[in-house]
């Protein structure tokens, strides 16, 4: 007697479950009057996905609805621009905050420092640290970790510059020796 094989379970790839962002978008679309927390949550979700245009769109909807953005919304925008490969856009968010009357918090500075680390801009990170100190913003544990990462990056950059300078110096010395030996110098 031959056994029947049922292939009803193998009907092709099953659809993948919706992502957390897709679920959040669906829920967000159903809310008639989102509050500040709802807007900020969506901005942060788009920010962590590096979707700057979507984060900016929700930010515009938030301000258009008369909601005043807090630092959390700006952190989401910074992350969105940074993760989208736009470090300058991330850094411009700080000026937008000031125009909106929102003072940068340690969370905002941490997001900006992370943007500098991603973009390989240790000098900008040091400028931000100076701004933090001038504005009286307290450094936290995450700030210290980010500065450590940026510092290591800066050391590698300086080491690379020193190696390049040493190689250039050796090349110039060799060229000078060659010129002297040929009598051209």
Asked if the structure places residue 46 within a domain, the reply is yes
Asked if the structure places residue 1 within a domain, the reply is no
Asked if the structure places residue 2 within a domain, the reply is no
Q: What is the mean pLDDT of residues 154-173?
A: 51
- What does the mean pLDDT of the chain come to? 81
Residue 38 scores a pLDDT above 70: yes
Asked if the structure places residue 145 within a domain, the reply is yes
Residue 184 scores a pLDDT above 50: yes
Task: Note whether 78 and 93 are within 8 A (CB).
Answer: yes
Which pLDDT does position 25 carry in this prediction? 82
Q: What is the mean pLDDT of residues 51-70?
A: 96
Task: Note whether 62 and 69 are within 8 A (CB).
Answer: yes
Total-model pTM: 0.73
Q: What is the mean pLDDT of residues 137-149?
A: 90
Which domain CATH number covers 70?
Answer: 1.25.40.10
Residue 131 scores a pLDDT above 60: yes
Asked if the structure places residue 10 within a domain, the reply is no
pLDDT-derived band at 62 (thresholds 50, 70, 90) equals very high
pLDDT-derived band at 147 (thresholds 50, 70, 90) equals confident
Q: Which domain holds residue 65?
A: 20-154
Query: What does the angle CA 82 – CA 86 – CA 87 come to, to the nearest 5 degrees?
Result: 65
> Which residues lie closer than 8 Å to 71 by C-beta, 6 or more apart?
97, 102, 104, 105, 107, 108
| Residue 178 tokens, joined | 């060659």
Q: How many domains does the chain have?
A: 1
Residue 51 scores a pLDDT above 60: yes
Task: Note whether 38 and 74 are within 8 A (CB).
Answer: no
**Which range, 13-22, 77-86, 172-181, is most confident?**
77-86
Asked if the structure places residue 176 within a domain, the reply is no
Residue 134 CB neighbour total at 10 angstroms: 8
Residue 22 scores a pLDDT above 90: no
Asked if the structure places residue 111 within a domain, the reply is yes
Asked if the structure places residue 103 within a domain, the reply is yes
């Amino acid at each position: 007697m031959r056994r029947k094989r049922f292939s009803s379970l193998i009907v092709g790839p099953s659809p993948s479950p919706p992502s957390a962002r897709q679920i959040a978008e669906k829920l967000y679309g159903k809310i008639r009057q989102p509050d500040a927390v709802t807007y900020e949550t969506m901005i942060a979700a788009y920010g962590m996905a590096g979707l700057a245009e979507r984060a900016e769109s929700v930010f515009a909807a938030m301000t258009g609805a008369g909601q005043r953005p807090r630092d959390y919304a700006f952190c989401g925008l910074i992350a969105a621009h940074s993760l989208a490969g736009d470090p300058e856009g991330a850094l411009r968010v700080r000026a937008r905050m000031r125009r909106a009357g929102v003072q940068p918090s340690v969370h905002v500075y941490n997001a900006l420092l992370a943007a500098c680390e991603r973009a390989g801009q240790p000098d900008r990170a040091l400028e931000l640290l100076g701004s933090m100190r001038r504005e009286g913003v307290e450094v936290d544990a995450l700030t210290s970790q980010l500065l450590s990462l940026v510092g290591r990056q800066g050391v590698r950059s300086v080491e690379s510059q020193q190696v390049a300078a040493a190689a250039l110096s050796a090349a110039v010395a060799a060229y000078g020796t060659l010129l002297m030996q040929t009598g051209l110098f």
